[in-house]
Chains A and B, each alone.
Chain A
C-alpha cells in the first residue's frame, strides 16, 4: 500500500519536462517534492494524479492508475491544485460539497462542516466563494480536498492527499496551519505528496524529500540527508548554506552572499 511512480517521462512538444523520474511514497509520511522553477515538480504531480499524459507507470495502493476509473481514483486520493477558479457563485460550503458523491466518506452530512472547521473557516460557510481572499479560497479548497478523503485510512487502505504548492498564497500562520493539517493526515495513516517551494517549511514538515532539477531526480531521502549545501546549491544553481542548530537539528536554509 503505497504510491510508486516509475520512470515517469513527460514532454511538452519537444521540451522534455520530466526525463525519467521515479518516486516511492509511503503512507504515514509527508513526501515533499522540491526544486527550482521549471524543474518538473508540478508536472510530476500532474502525472501521478492522471491529470496529464505521461510515459512510465504510477501505482496507487498497488493498482495502476492508467487503468483505473476516475471515480475509483477519487475514492482513494484527493488533489489540491495550485490555484482554483470557480465559474459560478457557489457558496463556500457548496464548494466543499462539490467533491462529494455517494459512496465516499465525505458524503456524510457533517463532514463538509468539519472539514471547514479544520481549516478554521466554518464561520464562512454561507459566504460566496467569490468574495474570499486568495488565501481563504485556497484554504476552502483544502477543506474540499480533506472532505473527499476524510478518513486517512479506510478499510485498511490508506488515502492520499496530493498538494500542489499548498501554502503559496498563505500568510505564515496559515502556512503552518496547512502543513500541520497535512502532517496530521499522514500521522493518522494517510499519505501526503506535496510540491513545495519553501525549503524551510519542507525541512520542518516533510518526512522525505525529493529534489528535482531539469526534469531529473537529483536526490531523495530524509530532509537531513538531502537538504545539504552541496545538493541544494547544485539544484538551484546558487549558493545556499544549510544550518542545523540544536536542539532538534532541523535544517534551515539561508541564501549565501549573492556573489559567492
Chain B
C-alpha cells in the first residue's frame, strides 16, 4: 500500500502498477484468509491445525466443525460480500461519473434491504410450491429486485441528457433511503415474532450467520455480478467523457448502462441480503485504488474486488477479536473505518459535489 503516497504518478507505469497490484492484492488476500481462519471464539488456530496435518495426525471433531462449518463459510461469505460491495461501488461511480456514488449512500442498499425484508415477512404468504422452488434464493433475489428498481429510479431522476447531477443524485438517494426505510418499518410492524427475530439478526450487518447453504445461495449470483462488472472497464472509461463521447468511440452505451445497473443491483442486493447493512466498502476501496494506480476501470474493477474482499475479511477478524468472546456487528467496524475516509474525500475534493 506504499504506492498510495506516491505523489507524482507517472501514467506509463500507472497501468503496469495497477497490473502489479493485481498480484500484490491476490497475495494479501491469501494472508487475510489465513488470518481469518486463525482467530475465533474457540482456541482452534490454523497454525495448530497445519502443524497437526504435517505430523499426519487426524483433526478432532470439534476442530473439523470449527474450521469447515464455521470459519470457512464465514470466510467465503466475507470475501464474496466484500468483493461485491467494492465492485458495485466502483461500477456505480463509473456509471454516475462521480466518486461519491455508492450503493449504500444513494439508497440502493436501502432498496435492496426493503426487498429482503419483504421476502422475510411476506415470504410466508407465498404458496408452498413457490417457496420450495425458490428456497434459499428468495431473500437474495428479492433484495436484487429491490436494488435494481432503486438503481433505475435513481438514474432516471438524477440523469438528464446523459449527464448526472450529483446534488440531485445524493438528494434522491436520501429520499429513496427514507422511503425504503419507512416501508421496511411498516413491514416490521406487521411481522410476527419469529420473523422479527430473523429481521433483527439480519439487520445487524454481520457475517455471523454464514453457512455453506447461504454461500451456495448467494455465491453464484455475486460471482456472476462481479464477472459482469469486470467486463465494463472500457465502457466505463468511455463514459467518463460523457454518454455522447462514449457512443462516438464505439461503445453501445445503452447496453453497457443496463449491464452496469444489473451488476450493481445484483452485487449490492445479494450482499445486503446475506449480510445486512455493511457500509463504506464501496466508496473507500475504489477511492484508495484510484489514488494508488489511477482511475482506469479496466484494472480498477478487479483490484476493487480483491481489496474489497481483503478489507471485509479483516474487518470481520477485528469484529470477532476486539470484544471476544462476543462479536461486534461488522457494519460498525466498516463505518468506523470508512466514514472518516468519506469525510476526507469530501474535504480534499470539494469540487466533486458542486459539479
| B244, A91: Cβ atoms closer than 8 Å | no
The docked-state distance in angstroms from the alpha carbon of A84 to that of B98 is: 15
Contact mask for chain A residues 46-81; partner B; CB cutoff 8 A; 1 contact, 0 none: 000111000000000000000001111111001101
Most chain A CB neighbours (cut-off 10 Å) among B10, B163, B237: B237
| A74/B250 in contact, CB under 8 A | yes
Contacts of A85 in B (CB 8 A): 163, 241-242, 355
Q: How many interface residues does chain A have, given as a range?
A: 20 to 34
Question: Which B residues touch A35, using CB under 8 A?
Answer: none
Contacts of A86 in B (CB 8 A): 240-241
Interface members, chain A 1-19 (any B CB < 8 Å): none
**Which chain B residues lie closer than 8 Å to A71 at the CB level?**
250-252
| A98 close to B249 (CB less than 8 A) | yes
- Inter-subunit contact A87/B239 (CB<8 Å): yes
B79 at the interface (CB under 8 A from A): no
Chain B contacts for A101, CB-based, 8 A: 234, 249-250
Assembly CA distance A86 to B94 (angstroms): 11
Query: In the complex the two chains form, what is the Cα distance from A91 to B9 in whole Å?
Result: 9
**Nearest-Cβ distance from residue B332 to partner chain A, whole angstroms:** 30
Complex Cα distance, B253 from A85, in Å, reads: 17
Min CB distance, A177 to chain B, in Å? 22
User: In the complex, what distance in Å separates the CA atom of A199 from the CA atom of B244?
Assistant: 27
Known: A79-B248, A98-B240, A101-B250. A87 touches B97 (CB 8 A): yes
User: Which of B9, B10, B245, B290 is the one whose CB lies under 8 Å from A84?
Assistant: B245
Is B245 a contact of A81 with CB atoms below 8 Å? Answer: yes
Question: Which B residues are CB-close (under 8 A) to A73?
Answer: 248, 250
Contact check, B250 vs A51: say whether CB atoms are below 8 A apart: no
Confirm or deny: B42 has a beta carbon within 8 angstroms of a beta carbon on chain A. Answer: no
- B214 interface hit (Cβ, 8 Å): no
How many Å lie between the Cα of A85 and that of B242 in the bound state?
7
B-chain residues with CB within 8 Å of residue A49 when the two chains form the complex: 248
Instruction: List the B residue with the shortest CB-CB distance to A46.
Output: B244
Chain B residue at minimal CB-CB distance from A87: B97
Interface residues of B in 1-58 (CB under 8 A from A): 9-12, 14
Please, how many angstroms separate the alpha-carbon atoms of A86 and B237 in the complex?
A: 10
Instruction: Note all chain B residues with C-beta closer than 8 A to A148.
Output: 249
B248 x A88 contact (CB < 8 A): no
A79 to B248, CA, bound (A): 6
Interface centre among B249, B251, B295, B296, by most chain A C-beta atoms within 10 angstroms, is: B249
Complex: A81 Cα to B162 Cα, angstroms = 14
Q: How far is the CA of A222 from the CA of B234 in the complex (A)?
A: 41
Contact of A90 among B234, B240, B242 (CB under 8 A): B240
- How far is it, in angstroms, between the C-alpha of A225 and the C-alpha of B320 when the chains are bound? 82
Tell me if B269 counts as interface (CB < 8 A to partner A): no
The answer for the CA separation of A89 and B234 in the assembled complex, in Å, is 16
- On A, residues with C-beta under 8 Å from B are 49-51, 69-75, 78-79, 81, 84-91, 93-95, 98-101, 125-126, 148
Extra pairs beyond A70-B252, A73-B248, A88-B295 (14, CB < 8 Å): A70-B250, A73-B250, A78-B249, A81-B242, A85-B242, A87-B98, A90-B295, A90-B296, A91-B294, A94-B296, A98-B240, A100-B249, A101-B249, A126-B10
Nearest 8 CB-CB pairs, A to B? A74-B250, A88-B295, A87-B97, A71-B250, A91-B11, A87-B240, A79-B248, A99-B249
